[in-house]
Structure 1
């Protein structure tokens, strides 16, 4: 069972993924997120980077999110989304490594525009603002929280730790809770 924090994190992510703000997540939302991301980094629609991000988003939709659709309408509501992430990702096992890690790797490769193996603050902010509609201020706070060694950049390992903590950790002190910016206050 997910604790309150885990439910809040998934509700927050759901809101960020619901690009058209219609209260559901569907394949169009994933496609729009992928398109915004590759456009923000200036990649041509047919480029290798663009295809890779779109393929990872499509795989995430097909293999993780669509199977969450309990009523078969190809639209996932928050309740279905939360239950599905609990079933596919949050539980111990390989769910994170099978479904989320490949998308995180595609994000990492796309963000690392200078190819130096590090994600700078500017690169992270560009991703967070375009793919997840975070404000610059919220993206900056998230970056600071995720920079575990305080060196001003993020490594692939730091991003994987943050991703896994966001999706799996019930601990309110986990830095990964900040992956998608600050969580909204309880209603």
Structure 2
């Protein structure tokens, strides 16, 4: 992914590399995506009910990314496609796929890690 050969992968190189990976072998990408969503749900779902509520989402990303609770509240609202106050595996999978493949900066999945 280090397109400029500087020994580091910046945000643009990461996004381009992930999109390339998805485009070159979509079947394999989607298989890996399922495993990634399963792992994310397992880590984030503190009460083990199969859903991610806003508190679990906020806890995950304030601790791991240092994101603000206010930014995460906005992100959660965008990701909660059915407006039920929780994220299920389908919503997380769609968001993860959009995050790695969408060219639309307003796509809900591009809020997966907050408004970065």
Classify the TM-score, shorter chain. Answer: 0.7 to 0.9
Partner residue, 1:117: 50
The DSSP-based 3-state class of the residue aligned with 1:149 is coil
Contact 1:162–1:176, Cα closer than 8 Å, also in 2: yes
- Aligned counterpart in structure 1 of residue 93 of structure 2, from 151, 160, 164: 160
Q: Does the CA-based 8 Å contact 1:145-1:178 persist in structure 2?
A: yes
Are 1:102 and 2:35 an aligned pair?
yes
Q: Is the 8 A contact 1:69 1:76 kept in 2?
A: yes
Query: Are the counterparts in 2 of residues 138 and 182 from structure 1 also a CA contact under 8 Å?
Result: yes
Q: Which runs of 5+ in 1 are unaligned?
A: 1-67
Structure 2 counterpart of 1:18:
none
Shift of 1:72: 8.9
User: CA offsets per residue over residues 135-156 of structure 1, 9 Å max, x none?
Assistant: 1111111111111111111101
Q: Distance in 2 between matches of 1:102 and 1:136?
A: 27
CA distance in 2, matches of 1:174, 1:84: 19
CA change 1:116–1:77 in 2 (3 A) is closer
Deviations 1:15-59 (A, max 9, x none): xxxxxxxxxxxxxxxxxxxxxxxxxxxxxxxxxxxxxxxxxxxxx
| Residue in 1 that maps onto 2:111 | 178
Deviation of residue 134 (structure 1)?
Answer: 1.2
Count of paired positions: 114
**Coordinate RMSD, CA, aligned:** 2.4
Q: Which has the larger radius of gyration?
A: 1
> 1: distance between equivalents of 2:27 and 2:45?
26
Provide the residue aligned with 1:143 in structure 2. 76
Distance in 2 (CA, whole Å) between partners of 1:171 and 1:99 is 22
Gaps of 5+ in 2: none
Q: Normalising to structure 2: TM-score of the pair?
A: 0.80
